[in-house]
């Protein structure tokens, strides 16, 4: 089969500039062949090379005493959690594929991130996701939403991993380009860490997993360009098709194989498929690799070398085996009924050489593909809309006249409402390690002995008791805040994720981020990116949560619909030292005292916490105003104080104030506990906020403002005085604001009082999304 002639038009279709093509010619010392052009196009795409973002990413804090595998080293970062046990975790996007084929796009997003974890030698133990869609009154959005959630549920449930938490936001900016960010965490012993490097000249290279097809062709390149109606139709073949049962077999076989010691290196075939796995493993080891495509299992007839190299068919792994250990590898793959093939060998050439039908169809220096992609320093310019954002004031914005109606409206808003319609489709209890399931501030899992990968027979640690570890995790980003002030929004994303961990009793260990933005060639979008990363970096430094890796997803925009709101999603993982310290958000008992930690209203903020708030958006259809300020020192002091109080055993519940403000947080404390799968336990409270009704403080700011660094906690009546005194010593504003009890949320401010029956609040909050989906 003859390859197409390379013309300027062909180069442009591969998303390469004339300058980049000329650099390829210089690297090779000749014009590339068509397959070589395809290889460069995927490896030099933004998705694989980070050519527009690498200089910005270098500003993240990535070092820490607990880090065992850091950012950029391997497929996922790894952090020590003590006693020789470690956790591997990462978040990645599958946005463009999910916009085109929501079920398969989301399903294979889960599959890809799970492979990133067991590639490191870790057993995957839990998953989270962060999702963004347009408004649910749009039938197309409902179709996308249904498909994405079904895809996540299908893959996770079939593979047997609990999807234990996450977040879902709805905003018109995602109308044409939904975001699907998938997170996975796995566990392993320190000595079980596996590297994705082709070590050992002469070692054979094995392919394991299903045969290669034409699905997922050049998916990495597709994810590195603007999404249009035309590209959506043309690139349906770039969306992979997943098989979670096959992935389970591959996972178990790989973990069993690793225990034999026969593996010299292992890499999954994710973005860019066989291309990425071969050149990256060679580049990491400083070796070369030669493969023969005639030996690669193929499920479609007459596949070209271009198609085989760029296919992103799922559930495939590349494994470098110690020479002489081939029969062990074959035995294990046969035991698990997995297709396998020995397709190549490690060399000392430093080159990736690909043969097909007796010809060399690619001969490229491996490191030129992986480490020497072009790097761009894009032009940046503050977004023009920021002038209007900064000048916005509350003059002319009516204060709330009916707080109960406003509270019901906020609780029924799709972004704030319960996400039970989503998480009821997920198995969040499989493997019996889930401690805090979806519905509280952070998810918590128990890492127990059977969570860890198998050890080789006779290993010194075999049979040694493994202490349980309790790991908390949360994923956060208020993209409206980032849109309105990228730096403050970036800080706030980290602070809220860490605050959610603190509310669960955990201290942060590390973070992974997913930077979702529009086209980086737009100076205003690149300014959003740079400023939000600056905020994320400062936040991670403040909470000692180094970034262990992540993902960049750019070009998230669609024609006339424009760019998404900048969405730098951050997932933070933390450790709870004692299971007795695990804390949830719901009220526990009548008679408990309700305390507010943090300022009720930031009176130094001219918008009193209403800038970018849900109250402005839902009640006044406005997305404007500078968002609440995030003082990282104040936030860190709050978190330290809260975790200290939890460890003293005096905190009965803790819930952070975020979207919707204090009133929404209080309502959620009373309506979010389930005593059965769908049976709520409603427990109200009488709240008196009169002490904060100072001159000039708006009622809507007091009830629904989103001033940062605030947590609602409950304690026994006899502990309230001690807790208030301890907070004062620590420099954290704290006040007694009410008592738990009754079947309503009663709000008092001076002479005014409002009563919100919990049954009504719960009905709107619990059923809102289901009712929207039933349209």
- Are 124 and 106 contacting, i.e. CB atoms less than 8 angstroms apart? no
Q: Is the pTM of this model over 0.85?
A: yes
pLDDT tier, 270 (very low <50, low <70, confident <90, very high otherwise) = confident
Residue 229 has pLDDT above 70, yes or no: no
Give the pLDDT confidence score for residue 675 in this predicted structure: 79
- Measure the CA–CA gap between 380 and 530, rounded to whole angstroms: 8
- Measure the CA–CA gap between 343 and 353, rounded to whole angstroms: 12
Give the pLDDT confidence score for residue 325 in this predicted structure: 96
- Are 370 and 280 contacting, i.e. CB atoms less than 8 angstroms apart? yes
Count, residues in the chain: 775
CA nearest neighbour of 188 among 90, 81, 110 = 81
Q: Which of 24-28, 198-202, 364-368, 460-464 has the lowest mean pLDDT?
A: 460-464
- The enclosing H or E element of 124 equals strand 123-133
Give the pLDDT confidence score for residue 1 in this predicted structure: 55
- Are 240 and 219 contacting, i.e. CB atoms less than 8 angstroms apart? yes
pLDDT tier, 238 (very low <50, low <70, confident <90, very high otherwise) = low
- Measure the CA–CA gap between 370 and 289, rounded to whole angstroms: 14
Residue 63 has pLDDT above 70, yes or no: yes
- Per-residue pLDDT of 665-682, as tens digits, reads 999 999 999 876 678 999
Q: In the annotation, is 581 catalytic?
A: no
Give the pLDDT confidence score for residue 307 in this predicted structure: 94
The β-bridge relationship of strands 507-516 and 547-553 is parallel
- Per-residue pLDDT of 149-190, as tens digits, reads 999 999 999 999 999 999 999 999 999 899 999 999 999 999
pLDDT tier, 233 (very low <50, low <70, confident <90, very high otherwise) = low
Residue 461 has pLDDT above 90, yes or no: no
Give the pLDDT confidence score for residue 38 in this predicted structure: 95
Cα 500 to Cα 275, 415, 428, 505, 544, distances in angstroms: 40, 17, 19, 9, 15
Q: Which of 243-257, 456-470, 727-741 has the lowest mean pLDDT?
A: 456-470
More confident residue, 217 or 660: 660
Query: Can you tell me the mean pLDDT for 724-736?
Result: 98
Q: In the annotation, is 190 catalytic?
A: no
pLDDT tier, 372 (very low <50, low <70, confident <90, very high otherwise) = confident
pLDDT tier, 230 (very low <50, low <70, confident <90, very high otherwise) = low
Residue 2 has pLDDT above 90, yes or no: no
- Measure the CA–CA gap between 72 and 49, rounded to whole angstroms: 11
- Return the sign of the alpha-carbon dihedral for residues 631, 632, 633, 638: positive
Residue 232 has pLDDT above 60, yes or no: no
Burial track 272-296 (b if 16+ CB lie within 10 A, e otherwise):
bbbbbbbbbbbbbbebbbbbbbeeb
Q: What's the burial of 718, exposed, middle or buried (CB within 10 Å: 0-12/13-18/19+)?
A: exposed
- Are 74 and 81 contacting, i.e. CB atoms less than 8 angstroms apart? no
Query: Can you tell me the mean pLDDT for 81-86?
Result: 96
Give the pLDDT confidence score for residue 462 in this predicted structure: 81
- Measure the CA–CA gap between 158 and 133, rounded to whole angstroms: 25
Q: Count CB atoms within 10 A of the CB of residue 466.
A: 18
pLDDT tier, 663 (very low <50, low <70, confident <90, very high otherwise) = very high
The β-bridge relationship of strands 288-292 and 351-356 is parallel
Residue 511, classed as helix, strand or coil, is strand
Give the pLDDT confidence score for residue 354 in this predicted structure: 97
- Per-residue pLDDT of 557-616, as tens digits, reads 988 789 999 999 999 999 999 999 999 999 999 999 999 999 999 999 999 999 999 999
Query: Can you tell me the mean pLDDT for 315-323?
Result: 97
Q: Locate all alpha helices (DSSP H) within 550-689, ordered by sequence.
A: 614, 620, 632-647, 661-671
pLDDT tier, 218 (very low <50, low <70, confident <90, very high otherwise) = low
Average pLDDT, the chain: 95
- Measure the CA–CA gap between 431 and 82, rounded to whole angstroms: 22
Query: Can you tell me the mean pLDDT for 221-236?
Result: 54
Query: Can you tell me the mean pLDDT for 724-731?
Result: 97
Determine phi and psi for 243, rounding to 5 degrees.
-135, 95
Residue 685 has pLDDT above 70, yes or no: yes
> Which residue of the set 47, 96, 639, 762 is catalytic?
47
- Measure the CA–CA gap between 77 and 73, rounded to whole angstroms: 8
Give the pLDDT confidence score for residue 407 in this predicted structure: 98
> Which residue of the set 94, 96, 356, 762 is catalytic?
94
Residue 139 has pLDDT above 90, yes or no: yes
């Amino acid at each position: 089969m003859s390859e197409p002639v390379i013309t300027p038009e062909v180069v442009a279709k591969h998303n390469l500039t004339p300058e980049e093509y000329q650099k390829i010619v210089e690297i090779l010392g000749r014009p590339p062949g068509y397959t070589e052009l395809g290889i460069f196009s995927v490896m030099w795409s933004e998705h694989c090379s980070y050519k527009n973002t690498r200089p910005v990413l270098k500003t993240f804090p990535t070092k820490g005493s607990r880090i065992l595998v850091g950012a950029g080293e391997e497929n996922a970062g790894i952090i020590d959690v003590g006693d020789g046990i470690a956790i591997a975790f990462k978040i990645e996007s599958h946005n463009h594929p999910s916009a085109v084929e929501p079920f398969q796009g989301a399903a294979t997003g889960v599959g890809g991130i799970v492979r990133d974890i067991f590639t490191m030698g870790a057993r995957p133990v839990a998953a989270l996701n962060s999702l963004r869609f347009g408004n649910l009154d749009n039938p197309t959005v409902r179709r996308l939403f249904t498909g994405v959630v079904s895809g996540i549920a299908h893959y996770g449930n079939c593979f047997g991993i609990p999807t234990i938490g996450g977040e879902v936001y709805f905003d018109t900016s995602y109308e044409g380009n939904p975001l699907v960010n998938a997170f996975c965490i796995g566990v392993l012993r320190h000595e079980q860490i596996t590297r994705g490097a082709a070590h050992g000249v002469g070692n054979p290279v094995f392919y394991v997993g299903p045969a290669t097809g034409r699905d997922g062709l050049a998916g990495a390149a597709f994810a590195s360009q603007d999404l249009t109606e035309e590209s959506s139709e043309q690139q349906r073949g770039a969306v992979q098709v997943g098989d979670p049962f096959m992935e389970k077999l591959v996972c178990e076989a790989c973990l069993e194989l690793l225990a034999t010691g026969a593996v010299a290196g292992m890499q999954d075939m994710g973005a860019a498929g066989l291309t990425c796995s071969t050149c990256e493993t060679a580049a990491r080891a400083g070796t070369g690799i030669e493969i023969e495509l005639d030996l690669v299992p193929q499920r479609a007839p007459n596949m070209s070398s271009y198609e085989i190299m760029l296919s992103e068919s799922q559930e495939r792994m590349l494994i470098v085996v110690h020479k002489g250990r081939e029969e062990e590898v074959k035995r294990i793959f046969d035991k698990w009924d997995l297709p396998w093939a020995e397709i190549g060998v490690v060399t000392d050439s430093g080159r990736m050489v690909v043969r097909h039908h007796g010809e060399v169809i690619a001969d490229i220096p491996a490191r030129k593909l992986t480490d020497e992609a072009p790097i761009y320093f894009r032009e940046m310019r503050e977004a023009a809309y920021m002038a209007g954002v900064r000048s916005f004031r509350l003059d002319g914005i009516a204060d709330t006249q009916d707080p109960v109606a406003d509270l019901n409206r906020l609780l029924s808003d799709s972004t704030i409402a319960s996400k039970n319609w989503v998480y009821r489709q997920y198995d969040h209890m499989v493997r019996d390690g889930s401690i805090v399931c979806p519905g509280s501030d952070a998810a918590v899992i128990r890492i127990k002995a059977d969570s860890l990968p198998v050890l080789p027979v006779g290993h010194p640690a075999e049979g040694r008791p493994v202490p349980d570890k309790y790991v908390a995790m949360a994923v956060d980003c208020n993209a409206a805040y980032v849109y309105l002030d990228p730096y403050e929004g970036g800080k706030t994303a980290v602070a809220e994720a860490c605050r959610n961990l603190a509310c669960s009793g955990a201290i942060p260990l590390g973070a992974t981020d997913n930077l979702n933005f529009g086209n980086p060639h737009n100076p205003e979008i690149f300014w959003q990116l740079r400023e939000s990363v600056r905020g994320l970096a400062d936040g991670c430094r403040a909470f000692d949560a180094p970034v262990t890796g992540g993902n960049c997803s750019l070009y998230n925009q669609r024609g006339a619909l424009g760019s998404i709101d900048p969405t730098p999603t951050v997932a933070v993982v933390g450790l709870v030292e004692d299971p007795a310290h695990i804390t949830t958000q719901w009220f526990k008992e009548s008679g408990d005292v309700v305390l507010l930690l943090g300022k009720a209203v930031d009176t130094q903020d001219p918008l009193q916490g209403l800038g970018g708030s849900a109250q402005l958006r839902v009640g006044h259809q406005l997305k404007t105003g500078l968002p609440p300020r995030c003082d990282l020192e104040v936030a860190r002091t709050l978190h330290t104080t809260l975790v200290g109080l939890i460890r003293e055993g005096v905190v009965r519940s803790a819930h952070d104030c975020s979207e919707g403000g204090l009133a929404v947080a209080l309502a959620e404390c009373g309506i979010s506990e389930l005593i059965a799968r769908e049976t709520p336990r409603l427990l109200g409270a009488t709240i008196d906020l009169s002490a904060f009704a100072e001159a000039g403080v708006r009622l809507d700011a007091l009830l629904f403002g989103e001033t940062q660094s605030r947590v609602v906690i409950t304690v026994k009546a006899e502990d309230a005085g001690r807790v208030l005194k301890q907070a004062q010593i620590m420099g954290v504003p704290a006040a007694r604001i009410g008592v738990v009890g009754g079947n309503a949320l009663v709000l008092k401010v001076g002479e005014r009082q409002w009563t919100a029956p919990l049954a009504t609040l719960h009905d709107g909050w619990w059923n809102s999304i289901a009712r929207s989906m039933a349209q």
